[in-house]
Structure 1
Amino acid sequence: MLIQVVNPNTTASMTDLIGRSARAAAGPGTAVVAVHPEMGPASIESHYDEALAVPGLLARIAAGEAAGADGHVVACFGDPGLDAARELAAGPVVGIAEASMRTATYLGRTFGVVTTLQRTTGRAWELAGRYGVREQCRTVRAVEIPVLALESDPAARSRIAAECADVVGTDGCDAIVLGCAGMADLAAELTVRIGVPVVDGVAAAVTIVEGLVRLGLSTGKRGEFAAPPPKRYTGALEQFGVGAPVAAPEWEVSR
C-alpha cells in the first residue's frame, strides 16, 4: 500500500517532520511518501493563504494518483481543498482536522484543540461543526506562535504544553487535539506530560486512510464527489483543466 501525505505549504522542513510522523504511524507493508507543492504559501495562517495553497495541493493529488498512490492525507489543520481532492482521487482522502477530531471522540466525552494563532480558531470551530463533533469540542485555544516559528522558537514546546495542561485543568477536557501539522512530533511527549490522550492529526489520518484502503473503501463517486466535468482552464490555471497531462512526481521516478 502506498499513501501520499501532502503538506499544502511549501516549507520542506515541515514536510520532513510530517513525513516522520506519518511513517511512524503506518503499519507493516505501508509505504508513506510526504510531499509539498511546488507553488503556494510558505505557511497557511489565513483564508488567503488557504485559497492559494489549494491549486498546488491539487497538483500533488493528481500527480500522486498518476503514480499509483492508494490514498492521500491533507496535512494542514484547515483541511484545505479536501472536497476537491476527493473528486480527483480514486482512493480515500482524509484531512488531519477531521481525522484528529473524530479520533478524539473515541477517547473521552470532550476534547479541546490547541492551535497556533487566534485568527485560525474560527475555522477550527467551523470544522468541528461540519464533522459533527461540535458538542464534544469544549474549547479551541491558540498559543499565538506562527506556524514556521514552531521549529525555531525555543519556548514553543513549553507554551504548547502549558496550554494543553490548562485545557485539561480549566476546561476539564478528556483529550487534546493538536491543531497544526507542525506540532506532529509533540503528541507522544505531551500525552505522558499532561496525562490525557493527545492526538496528532497526521498520525490519525494515516491510520484511517490505511484502514479504509485495507477495507477496500473509498469516496463514493455517484454524486457530489464524482470526477469534475472536463472543461478548459485558462491563464495560470491552464494545467488544471481536467484531462491535462500530469507529470510523474520525483518520488515515483525513484521507486
Structure 2
Amino acid sequence: MRLLLVNPNTTASMTSAIAASAASVARPATVVEALNPPFGPASIENDEDERRSVPGLLTQIEAAADRPADSRPDAYVIACFGDPGLEEARRMVSQPVLGIAQAAMHAASLAAGTFSVVTSMSATVPRAWELAKTYTPAACLGVYACDIPVLRIDSDPTTIEPIAQLCAQALAADGSRSIVLGCAAMARFAEPLRARLGVPVIDGVVAATLLAEALAPLAG
C-alpha cells in the first residue's frame, strides 16, 4: 500500500518529521510519502492560516490522484490538527482521507475512553473544541494551549518540558485517561510523554497512519 501524508504548511523540516513518525509505525510493505505545498503559510496557528493552507493542500492531493495507477496513493492523511480541507479532499478522491485530529480523537476515545487535548497556540483552542464536539462529543474533557509557536516546537526539543507540565496539569484538572497532542510538530514527543505520564499519549500522525492501513482495503 502507498500512503501519502500532506503537511499543509510549507516547512520542509516538519514534513520530514511527519514522514519519520508515520514510517516508524507503518507496516514494512507500506510505502510512506510526505509532501508539503510550495505555497501557503509556514505554520498553521489560527483560522486564517488554516484557510490559506487549503488551496496548496488540495493541489497536492489532486496531483497525487492524477498519477499513474502504480504510484497513486491508496490513502491520504492531512497532517494538521485543524483537519483543514478534509471534506473537500474527500470529495476529490475515492480513497480514504484522514485528518490527524479525527484519527487521534477517535483513537484516544477507543483506547482510553476520555482525553484532554494539548495544543500549540491559544488561537487554535476553539477549533480543537469544535472538532472534538463533532468527532467525539462525550470523550474530550478539556483543551489546553502551551502557547509555544509551532515552528519552535518543531525546532526546539526542550519544548517537551513545558508541554509535559501542561499535559500533567490537564490530566489532573480533567480526570481524563489520555492525552491527544494537538499539533503535528509534537509527534516526536508522544513516546517520551507516554513514559513520563503513564497514560496513552496519542499523536495524530501515528493514529492516522495505523487507521489508514486498516481502512484502505475497505475502499476496494
> TM-score, normalization: structure 2?
0.95
- TM-fit CA distance, 1:154: 5.4
Q: After TM superposition, where is structure 1 displaced by more than 4 Å over at least 4 residues in a row?
A: none
The alignment status of 1:204 with 2:204, answered yes or no, reads no
2:163 to 160, 163, 167: 160
Who is 1:72 aligned against? 76
CA distance in 1, matches of 2:74, 2:154: 31
How big is each residue's C-alpha offset from its partner over 1:43-99, in whole Å with a ceiling of 9 and x where there is no partner? 011111111100100011011112311110000000000000001112100000000
What residue in structure 2 maps to residue 43 of structure 1? 43
Among 69, 80, 85, the residue aligned to 1:81: 85
**Mapped partners of 2:156, 2:76: distance in 1:** 30
Corresponding letter in the other structure for 2:159 = A
The correspondence of residues 112-191 of structure 1 with structure 2, limited to 5 A, is 112-131=116-135, 133-153=136-156, 155-191=158-194
Kept after mapping to 1: 8 A contact 2:79/2:184: yes
With over 3 angstroms needed to count, the CA separation of the structure-2 counterparts of 1:153 and 1:65, relative to structure 1, is same
Structure 2, unmatched stretches of 5+, are none
Q: Which residue of structure 1 aligns with residue 56 of structure 2?
A: 56
CA distance in 2, matches of 1:12, 1:29: 25
Q: Secondary structure at the match of 2:113?
A: coil
Gaps of 5+ in 1: 219-255
Kindly tell me: are residues 26 and 39 of structure 1, through their superposed partners in 2, closer, same or farther at Cα, counting changes over 3 Å? same
% identical equivalent positions: 49
Partner residue of 2:21?
21
Q: Return the offset for 1:38.
A: 1.1
Distance 1:152 1:94 in 2: 26
State the Cα distance separating 1:217 from its structure 2 match.
Answer: 2.2
Amino acid paired to 1:47: D
- Distance across 2 between alignment mates of 1:46 and 1:120: 5
Report what 2:197 is aligned to: 194
Distance 2:94 2:65 in 1: 7
How far apart are residue 170 of structure 1 and its match?
A: 2.4
Would you say how many aligned residue pairs link Structure 1 and Structure 2? 216
Q: CA deviation at 1:151?
A: 2.8
Q: What does 1:222-237 correspond to in 2, within 5 Å?
A: none
Aligned with 2:219: secondary structure?
coil
**Superposition deviation, residue 152 in structure 1:** 3.4
Q: Which has the larger radius of gyration?
A: 1
Looking at secondary structure, tell me which structure has more helix per residue. 2
8 Å contact from structure 1 (residues 175, 196) kept in 2 = yes
